[in-house]
């Protein structure tokens, strides 16, 4: 009798999880991607409503799974996908808030490096600061794919914050002044887990909110309208 791998948070019920996994924060975005882009998609997880699917895209097996919000949630799911299920390429496809005036709603950002206000990295007990960077291989390929599609992307450092509603309104301006492109909440845990396990990770983000102008998209658009980053991520596989 073969015992199938499972965790308290991911129960695949015999469905294989691919080495390349797309990771939207919203599980309904995972469902949309599976139903819209993948062939023969099978649901491999429904625990806590965090939907995950495996199917094929242009003949390549790909999985897609929601991660929830914040480094704690991303930390759990990405760690289990890497260390229990053998994921090798983890691509976050999420939303972010723009911190620079030249960036607009729906623009795509490739997170080359992740600055953070999180304590997630303290567990590694390093005697100094460690630069959280994306996989250069995935970053380079994503840029090439965007160029082939004629899709403009912004490449640079993003902020991974544990705080969505800041009590101090000047906090984001400080990150803006130092050149951070956007703010989101998950890349710190994803990049740390990938770096520690020697696997590949990249954050591909769509601007859903603008922290300077106050513009924002609707919840429905966040689930289904951000197709440019989805297609770049799928081609990476």
- Please identify every residue annotated as catalytic: 209
Q: Is 67 annotated as a binding residue?
A: no
Q: Tell me how many helices (H) and strands (E) the chain has.
A: 7, 9
Cβ atoms of 146 and 153 closer than 8 Å? yes
Q: Which residues of 78-106 are buried (b: 16+ CB within 10 A; e: fewer)?
A: bbbbbeebebbbbbbbbbbbbbbeebeee
9 is in an annotated binding site: yes
- To the question of whether residue 48 is assigned a binding role by annotation, the answer is yes
Output the six-digit token pair for 60.
């390549």
Nearest CA to 71 out of 30, 122, 11, 22 is that of 122
Q: Is 215 annotated as a binding residue?
A: no
Asked if residue 184 belongs to a known ligand binding site, the reply is yes
198 is in an annotated binding site: no
Q: Is 137 annotated as contributing to ligand binding?
A: no
Burial class (CB in 10 A: 0-12, 13-18, 19+), 40: exposed
Cα 25 to Cα 20: distance, rounded to the nearest angstrom: 16
Residue 208 assigned to a binding site? yes
Could you tell me which of 154, 158, 117 has the C-alpha nearest to residue 134? 158
Question: Is there a binding annotation on residue 55?
Answer: no
As annotated, the binding site for a purine D-ribonucleoside includes: 9, 184-186, 208-209
As annotated, the binding site for phosphate includes: 25, 29, 48, 92-95
């Amino acid at each position: 009798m073969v015992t199938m791998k499972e965790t308290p948070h991911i129960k695949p019920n015999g469905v294989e999880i691919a080495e390349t996994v797309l990771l939207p924060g919203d599980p309904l975005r995972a469902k949309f991607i599976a139903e819209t882009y993948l062939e023969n998609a099978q649901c491999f997880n429904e625990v806590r409503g965090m939907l995950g699917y495996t199917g094929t895209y242009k003949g390549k097996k790909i999985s897609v799974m929601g991660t929830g919000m914040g480094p704690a949630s991303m930390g759990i799911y990405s760690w289990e996908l890497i260390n229990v299920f053998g994921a090798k390429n983890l691509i976050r496809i999420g939303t972010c808030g723009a911190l620079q005036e030249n960036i607009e709603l729906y623009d795509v950002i490739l997170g080359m490096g992740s600055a953070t206000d999180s304590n997630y990295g303290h567990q590694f007990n390093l005697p100094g600061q460690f630069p959280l960077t994306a996989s250069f291989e995935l970053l380079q390929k994503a840029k090439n794919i965007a160029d082939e599609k004629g899709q403009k992307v912004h490449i640079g450092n993003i902020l991974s914050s544990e705080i969505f509603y800041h009590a101090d309104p000047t906090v984001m301006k400080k990150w803006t002044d130092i050149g951070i492109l956007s703010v989101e909440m998950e890349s710190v845990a994803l990049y740390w887990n990938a770096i520690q396990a020697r696997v590949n990770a990249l954050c591909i983000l769509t601007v859903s909110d603008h922290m300077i102008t106050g513009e924002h998209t609707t919840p429905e658009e966040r689930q289904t309208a951000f197709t440019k980053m989805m297609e770049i991520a799928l081609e990476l596989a």
